Amino acid sequence: MMFFSDFDGTISHSDPVVELLALAVGSRAKALALTREIMLPVARQQRTYREGFDLAVANFAGIDETTGLKTMVDAVHIDSTFSHFYDFCHSVHIPFVILSSGFANVIEKSLDLFLPNRSGASTSRSSTKISVVGSSYAHDKSQLLWKVRHVDDSPIGHDKSVHLVKARNTINTNVKLRGRVPIVYFGDGLNDIGPAEVADIVFAKAGSSLDKQCTRRGIQRRTFRDFAEVEDVLGQAFLIVNKLIEDQSDRLRDIDLIRTWRDVIYTYDRADIKVDSKM
């Protein structure tokens, strides 16, 4: 299993860009109004997400980098249950990759504060690292101007689905792993639709834009409110699938493992769980 996840709105409850905008424009109410004004055309597909992010960050003008970075890091509120989930990832040896359109250094610094051992400095946690792929910024020290350096040339500024496709291609080059390692994606926003479309298993924040879009587009997903819930679902799924692997070890080659993982994760709390296998 491989985990890929969005950050803002999925792991963190807050939006650091809005908080820095609040400092720039004088109040949180004004920042929220400005964000709505910038992002409404994005939702209506009259403006790209990339352009919207550029416009928001242009409003940081006049703020020095130290203040800006501190404001954004302080604004991050990570789901309190994510720490325990991180330990779960360690226990099952699954690496965790964060894919964000936001600033990677803000995410890195907030994770360093929240999970001090995550970088692998401690040998007990060295097998589970959280890596972060996100945008960066150029800061003009003399004029105090901010400019986004997007991850790629896509209209979103970061086409997250590319990372999942690349991971699957790597898995598929290994005959022993082909068709056996599900790619799991966690997200909440409109820019998570791409990766949700290519992931094997999707966890969408309940009631989020991603959740609604999954309904509209017929994408199967499991909704979640926090990572304690994810851990509960995955913990049960590991027990069930590992038992199946143990019981069916002589005909394991005939079992569609990814389909089995999907069935268990999407239905595990129902009484009528059936572990699907093709003969």
Chain contacts with Mg ion (rule: CB under 5 A): 6, 8-9, 188-189
Helix boundaries (H) for the chain: 16-25, 28-43, 49-58, 65-75, 82-91, 104-114, 161-172, 193-198, 209-217, 227-247, 257-267
The residue (of 22 and 210) whose beta carbon lies closer to Mg ion is 210
Element (H, E) at 130: strand 130-140
Q: How far is the CB of 205 from Mg ion (least distance, A)?
A: 8
Measured from each CB, the residue nearest to Mg ion is 9
Least spacing, CB of residue 75 vs Mg ion, in Å: 14
Rounded to the nearest 5°, which phi and psi values hold at 42? -70, -45
Nearer CB in complex with Mg ion: 157/255: 157
Counting every residue, how long is the chain? 279
Query: Tokens 């650091």 label which residue?
Result: 16
Measured from the CB atom, the residue of 8 and 263 that comes closer to Mg ion is 8
Given its phi and psi angles, is residue 138 left (phi above 0), alpha (psi -120 to 50 degrees) or beta?
beta
Shortest spacing between CB 12 and Mg ion, in angstroms: 8
Q: Least distance to Mg ion from the beta carbon of 244, Å?
A: 34
Indicate the pairing of strand 183-187 with strand 130-140: unpaired
Specify whether the CB–CB gap between 13 and 79 falls below 8 A. Answer: yes
Among 229, 243, 249, smallest CA distance to 273 is for 243
**Taking the complex as a whole, how short is the minimal distance between the CB of residue 17 and Mg ion, in angstroms?**
11
Q: Nearest distance from residue 158's CB to Mg ion, in Å?
A: 11
Name which of 79 and 188 has its Cβ closer to Mg ion.
188
Pick 19 or 188: Cβ nearer Mg ion:
188
